[in-house]
């Protein structure tokens, strides 16, 4: 089984790295195509098959992942369409904001619709820790199960309606940047409190990891765990209240909604 990735930018490269480290495909069966060979060298060193010709890349692939900027999707499809075999190949579109209705128009060969899934991961896919949303647009349950297996091997995959993909993008695709910003802010606060920068970052990383592990393993609501450490008149409640006075919760929610307006 082979997968062709069209595009080796930030997301295409991250997807390739995750797949190479994963268990679904052998590294040499991860085919990465990009017009600029310099972006392919690291992936080739990791064991992927690399090529600068998109049409050759898709010829023997079972899955074709389109991972380019939205405005490049149509040119890419026009380039590879004649070589696609819809009877055996599945299309995975990772370019955000391109609706399936438009994709089907560009993919039309007069021989029926291809198997198509809209897929929104985040860059943690490189280390097999992505939150990925999958919207089946024209697929059997078995085909969707096969796609979900690929992305569950690279973190956690969730099957959703296509209408929820913009929200998923904000919560996970963009959300990873929001989480990084909190980590940076907390580390900077640690420096102000007296720790060296690298030490402060390590403290924040372990603390965030601990919070995530605690919620995943116990199934608790975040507020229940907060209650356990907010003693009356204590330091934690004072810190939380200062953050709320500065609009912490409101800022997070407004940030998530901003991209949907």
Query: What are 72-111's pLDDT values in tens digits?
Result: 999 999 999 999 999 999 999 999 899 999 999 999 998 8
For 135, the enclosing helix (H) or strand (E) is strand 130-138
- In this prediction the pTM is 0.93
Instruction: With cut-offs at 50, 70 and 90, classify the pLDDT of residue 260.
Output: confident
Which pLDDT does position 259 carry in this prediction? 82
Angstrom distance (rounded) from CA 169 to CA 131: 10
The CATH 3.40.50.720 portion of the chain extends over 3-161
Which pLDDT does position 34 carry in this prediction? 95
CATH C-level class of 3-161: alpha beta
- Report the CATH fold assignment for 175-258: ProC C-terminal domain-like fold (1.10.3730)
Instruction: With cut-offs at 50, 70 and 90, classify the pLDDT of residue 171.
Output: very high
Res. 195: pLDDT tops 90:
yes
- Per-residue b/e over 98-122, b at no fewer than 16 CB within 10 Å? bebeebeeebeeeeebbbbbbbbbb
Tokens of residue 110, six digits: 């007069």
Which pLDDT does position 111 carry in this prediction? 85
Which pLDDT does position 17 carry in this prediction? 98
Average pLDDT over residues 48-68: 97
Q: SS3 for 161? A: coil
Average pLDDT over residues 124-143: 98
Res. 261: pLDDT tops 80:
no
Angstrom distance (rounded) from CA 218 to CA 220: 5
The CATH 1.10.3730.10 portion of the chain extends over 175-258
Mean pLDDT of the chain: 96
Res. 257: pLDDT tops 80:
yes
β-sheet bridge partners, residue 6: 33, 66
């Amino acid at each position: 089984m082979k997968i062709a990735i069209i595009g080796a930018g930030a997301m295409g490269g991250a997807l390739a790295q995750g797949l190479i480290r994963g268990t679904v495909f052998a590294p040499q069966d991860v085919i990465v195509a990009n017009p600029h060979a310099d972006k392919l060298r690291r992936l080739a060193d990791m064991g992927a098959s690399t090529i600068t010709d998109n049409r050759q890349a898709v010829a023997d692939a079972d899955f074709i992942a389109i991972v380019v900027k939205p405005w490049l999707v149509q040119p890419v499809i026009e380039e590879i369409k004649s070589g696609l075999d819809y009877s055996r190949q599945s299309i995975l579109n990772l370019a955000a904001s391109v609706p399936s209705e438009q994709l089907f128009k560009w993919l039309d060969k007069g021989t029926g619709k291809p198997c198509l899934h809209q897929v929104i991961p985040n860059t943690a896919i490189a280390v097999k820790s992505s939150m990925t949303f999958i919207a089946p647009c024209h697929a059997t349950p078995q085909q969707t199960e096969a796609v979900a297996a690929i992305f569950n091997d690279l973190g956690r995959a969730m099957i959703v309606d296509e209408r929820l993909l913009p929200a998923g993008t904000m919560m996970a695709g963009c959300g990873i940047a929001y989480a990084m910003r909190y980590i940076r802010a907390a580390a900077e606060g640690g420096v102000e409190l007296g720790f060296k920068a690298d030490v402060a970052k390590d403290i924040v990383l372990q603390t965030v990891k601990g919070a995530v592990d605690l919620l995943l393993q116990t199934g608790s609501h975040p507020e229940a765990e907060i209650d356990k450490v907010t003693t009356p008149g204590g330091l934690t409640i004072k810190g939380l209240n200062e953050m709320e006075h500065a609009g912490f919760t409101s800022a997070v929610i407004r940030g998530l909604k901003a991209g949907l307006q």
